A and B are shown apart, each in its own frame.
Chain A
């Protein structure tokens, strides 16, 4: 299965793309209305990724820090409540967790990085196009912007994100086959599915730098002198894009910018002349060159720096991950443990069961669908 071909031909379009192309074609082909200027809106400006999932680095840090702190506070509170319950029932207090050091944001991130790479491994085994894996990784990143690893262990979320990404990118694998291959029960994967969708705000389409990279590859063919070196450079650029997935670049920059930066970096590595292409393309006029130098070049340099220097681009050692995992087990939230006392107490007082657990609905009604009366209306 060829990655590039699937990249071009396989992906589904946003509905927004259809709208703007018909608008522009109407403007151009209709001779009588050619005087009316219909602005050619950038298609990307209508995507959810552009409108909802862009942050600054400081905003990201703040968001993650806040989530982490809130979770720690909740867990501490719940542990205290659990201990009170135990005392009330005559059991001894469980004070093993008072001196516990909860996970920091950095530790959570390295744990996530470890599981992201595991995901990448499994996708490589399945030999699917890169963008399916990329979508799964981005789902997981977005999920853990609003949740902490202490509440939902990354290894469960990882499976759900993989399953979901296969669905949204049109490489569906049924839950039976999936649980057979992954060797985990289907319920553990499906339980989290709705929660993940909710935290993604149901924005399932993710744009990756792969297709822009191929677009630049095509474009560079107009000014290349050595096709083979160009192709080699393109392969290296794709590898850089693969590493970029493990950083926060997808939240900070646009896919086309990341692709161009990857290409610039790959040109440096393969000693292919990038400036020739840049001059041809961006420095044709004074104003264009100015725009390039002021806006685009700093962005490219910033991305390149991340790709070369950021520690998250490197592999996470298994030992580090297991250590963090061990600590994670200790700081689990008692409210989520079905055997804890406060879980039982809360289950009893809540009328509809947990928000996140949508399987509870089955207990009230025998059939999931509403039953229709004789005249076709719901009873």
Chain B
């Protein structure tokens, strides 16, 4: 119920129909609308309904103070219709899924519209109200279920928004901190350079050349780690926003490339020919060691058929889809599954049976 100062200026020449006060006499005057859609300023409402229900001065309907609400639309008929629709929607909340065919759903919607129209234009109010009540009684359960569903959905939506917002905020903060750190490093660098120039007795040229070499090495290293080079642009001081944006783009591209590579490799795998597969599973994963030495803390398998230790990729039994997609989950290596299966196959193989 927003009644900011913006909206009140639209009603500058408002006059309360009951007490004829206008904004000149009462600058904070706020007109409220009752169920019979007659306006009244708050003072009048206080005055008339302080002692309980009283008849409306315009139409003599019994009203209470609580049933007055703020006006959101300039046109009273719109306000009335909106209120009616709100009430209807709390009862007529069936959805498309509750109907077998589209036609049934449309018929239902049309009946709802008919009733709303009748109520809004005060045609056959009694019969309409009776029809509505009858409908509400018949479909009480479905109404309740749909109401709950709506509540759940709105709750989930707000949660999702909240999470997204938090995520974005965290990302922004992380990038900002990163940039701040880099900026600090740059400044430190410059300061050291100046200090070196001031204190050492080598020629200025040689010092600068040495610095350049170091900074170039740093940028090339960072390029291989899939981080964008910043020292080249550091001296120019690019804007915050473009830097972070560019970084995010870069990471996405890298992920996509790795996906494509991985799928191609798995298809062309030949279990008989290849001794050992190089399968790059993505950023951050290192290929397992190429022999019987322990890898990731695993046991040695002197009996293992493959002389190159546990292979990196096996053909799955029938009925199992490609597991390479599973491997993309963070922290999961396809090799875990192979290791466990092969370990289990080898443990306790030579345990003799119990003798009585």
Chain A interface (Cβ within 8 Å of chain B)?
2-5, 7-9, 21-22, 24-25, 28-29, 40, 42-45, 50, 54-56, 58-59, 207, 211-225, 227, 231-232, 234-235, 252-257, 259-260, 277, 280-282, 288, 291, 295-296, 299, 302
Bound Cα distance A259, B341 (Å): 12
Bound Cα distance A299, B353 (Å): 8
Chain B residues with CB under 8 Å of A56's CB are: 353-356
Find residues 333-356 in chain B having any chain A CB closer than 8 Å to their own CB.
Answer: 336-338, 340-356
Known: A28-B293, A215-B340. 19 other contacts (CB 8 A): A22-B297, A24-B298, A50-B348, A54-B354, A56-B353, A56-B354, A212-B345, A215-B344, A215-B346, A219-B342, A221-B314, A224-B271, A227-B315, A234-B318, A254-B351, A256-B346, A256-B349, A260-B345, A299-B353
Stretch at the interface among B76-84, B101-109, B320-328: B320-328
* B272 interfacial by beta-carbon distance below 8 Å: yes
Asked if A43 and B343 sit within 8 Å, CB to CB, the answer is yes
Asked if A3 and B319 sit within 8 Å, CB to CB, the answer is yes
Bound Cα distance A207, B326 (Å): 24
Size of interface on B: residues with Cβ below 8 Å to A:
44
The binding surface of chain A is classed by DSSP as: helix
Chain B residues with CB under 8 Å of A215's CB are: 340-346
Instruction: Give the residue of A58, A254, A256 whose beta carbon is less than 8 angstroms from that of B356.
Output: A58
Question: Closest CB-CB distance, B188 to chain A, in whole Å?
Answer: 35
Closest A-B pairs by Cβ, 6 of them: A215-B345, A25-B297, A8-B337, A215-B341, A222-B305, A254-B348
Bound Cα distance A220, B315 (Å): 11
Bound Cα distance A281, B311 (Å): 16
Asked if A9 and B299 sit within 8 Å, CB to CB, the answer is no
19 contacts between A and B (CB under 8 A): A5-B337, A8-B340, A29-B297, A40-B300, A42-B348, A211-B344, A215-B345, A218-B311, A218-B342, A219-B304, A221-B315, A222-B306, A235-B318, A252-B353, A253-B353, A256-B346, A256-B347, A277-B305, A288-B303
Asked if A4 and B317 sit within 8 Å, CB to CB, the answer is yes
Q: In the complex, what residue of chain B is closest to A1 when comparing beta carbons? A: B319
Asked if B296 and A25 sit within 8 Å, CB to CB, the answer is yes
Chain A residues with CB under 8 Å of B294's CB are: 24-25, 28-29
Instruction: Give the residue of B271, B350, B356 whose beta carbon is less than 8 angstroms from that of A221.
Output: B271
Asked if A256 and B344 sit within 8 Å, CB to CB, the answer is yes
For B297, B314, B316, B323, the residue with the greatest tally of chain A CB atoms inside 10 Å of its CB is B297
Chain B residues with CB under 8 Å of A42's CB are: 347-348
